[in-house]
Amino acid sequence: MAHLPSRPEMESAYTRRDASYDGIFWLGVRTTGIFCRPSCSARKPHPENVEFFASPKEAVFAGYRPCKRCRPMETNGAPPEWVGKLLREIEQHPTDRFSDPRIRSMGIDPARARRYFLKHYGMTFQAYTRGRRLGLSLEQIRKGADLDDVSLGTGYSSHSGFRDAFVRTFGNPPGKSRTADCVVTCWIESPLGPLVAAATSDGVCMLEFSDRRMLEHQFTRLRRHFKSAIVPGTNPHLTRLQQELQEYFAGTRTQFSVPIIFPGNPFEQKVWKALLTIPPGTTASYQDIARKIGSPKSVRAVGRANGMNRIAILIPCHRVINKDGSLGGYGGGLWRKKRLLELEGSKASLEFFEPWPSARAR
């Protein structure tokens, strides 16, 4: 229930069929075993028969199956309209400060913005806008901009305030950051749900579905590996990634050319490099991967390393299945694994796949 609105607020939202709450929470109906979006047009259940979830995955794990009317699993990855409005405003005015009164003037509740950004971006809305400003300032500094111009041009009223915020974020003062790097993150829409991507100046270092439970842990590992701040923004690698993903989901691309970097321990590196050799349209078993890396008895360790892959789709861990032909596990959800394999035209046997859990026994 972390980061969910209050129960009265959620009850009011689904009673009104308020689409602005789509993506904020999902509701499961105990009497039917079905879960829906808040905006679902189906007959609204009595509040005592409803429980709330922070993600479709939580609802599925609780034994609910998706509603056939509102199709809560089949998102196009677009954030709610009010979130899109905020994001557009930030990109149009990236150096501005967004106070609560300003957010309210846009017809948006600041508390709702904090919850949404904390859930989907791992930071509050104010932290997001601050990171966006500081990320922009780092980019300008690396291009040789004057420090005075940068500090006053990114919304800070004093040099000391800018310097303190910069040091807290990047670890070094602005004057020592001409060659500094950072991990830049952005949100990418997809037919299988929104993806969170991250990249340094060397290449893409993370691509995860935004509802994956390990997302926060992956960010922690990135900070440790790269010893740099993680800020929202974009760079040429992320722009290229977005274009290549569009082509991939459109069925016109099978190989990715955007640079990727995937630091890890030596065993993880071997496994991830082996995954890159699995051609599109084919699959391999965990045993196959273990043999390929010269550790035939390390099947279980291969499974763990496969699960720790933080660059989904590009490093195709979804192409690894069980020896008996069943799908096995997938951090983004088995329904996504099945869709990715179908998209790639895999000849793997998928009859073992159980699309949705049966309704919970009452």
Cβ(346)–Cβ(321) below 8 Å: no
Residue with tokens 């274009």: 243
**Residue bearing the bigger pLDDT, 272 or 57:** 272
In whole angstroms, give the CA distance from residue 101 to residue 188: 29
The arrangement of secondary structure in 266-343, i.e. its CATH architecture, is Orthogonal Bundle (1.10)
pLDDT (0 to 100) of residue 273: 95
Whether residue 59 has pLDDT greater than 70: yes
Tell me the residue type at 306.
N
Helices (H) then strands (E): counts for the chain: 14, 10
7-66 and 81-176: identical CATH topology = no
Banded model confidence at residue 167, pLDDT cuts 50, 70, 90? very low
pLDDT digits (tens, 9 = 90+) for 194-222: 788 889 889 999 998 876 666 666 777 77
Banded model confidence at residue 131, pLDDT cuts 50, 70, 90? low
Whether residue 8 has pLDDT greater than 80: yes
Residue with tokens 């308020």: 18
Sheet hosting strand 195-199, strand order edge to edge: 204-209, 195-199, 183-188, 230-232
CB neighbours of residue 158 within 10 Å = 10
Mean pLDDT, residues 294-314: 91
Percentage of the chain surpassing pLDDT 70?
72
Least confident of 45-54, 132-141, 250-259, 353-362: 353-362
Per-residue tokens: 90: 């930030």
Q: Which CATH topology does 7-66 take?
A: DNA Methylphosphotriester Repair Domain (3.40.10)
What rounded mean pLDDT belongs to the chain?
76
Delimit the domains of the chain by residue range.
7-66, 81-176, 183-249, 266-343
pLDDT (0 to 100) of residue 31: 85
In whole angstroms, give the CA distance from residue 344 to residue 208: 19
pLDDT digits (tens, 9 = 90+) for 321-356: 988 888 888 877 788 888 899 899 865 443 333 332
**Partners of 204 in the beta sheet?**
199, 260
Cβ(353)–Cβ(338) below 8 Å: yes
pLDDT digits (tens, 9 = 90+) for 79-95: 677 887 888 887 787 77
Whether residue 168 has pLDDT greater than 70: no
Least confident of 2-6, 8-12, 357-361: 357-361
**How large is the C-alpha radius of gyration of the chain?**
22
Banded model confidence at residue 176, pLDDT cuts 50, 70, 90? very low
Cβ(183)–Cβ(226) below 8 Å: yes
pLDDT digits (tens, 9 = 90+) for 104-130: 999 988 888 888 877 666 667 877 776
Superfamily covering domain 81-176: Homeodomain-like (1.10.10.60)
Residue-by-residue DSSP string for 239-304: HHHHHHHHHHHTTS-SS--S-B-----HHHHHHHHHHTTS-TT--EEHHHHHHHTT-TT-HHHHHH
Q: Which residues are part of the catalytic machinery?
A: 36, 317
**Residue bearing the bigger pLDDT, 62 or 201:** 201
Cβ(230)–Cβ(218) below 8 Å: no
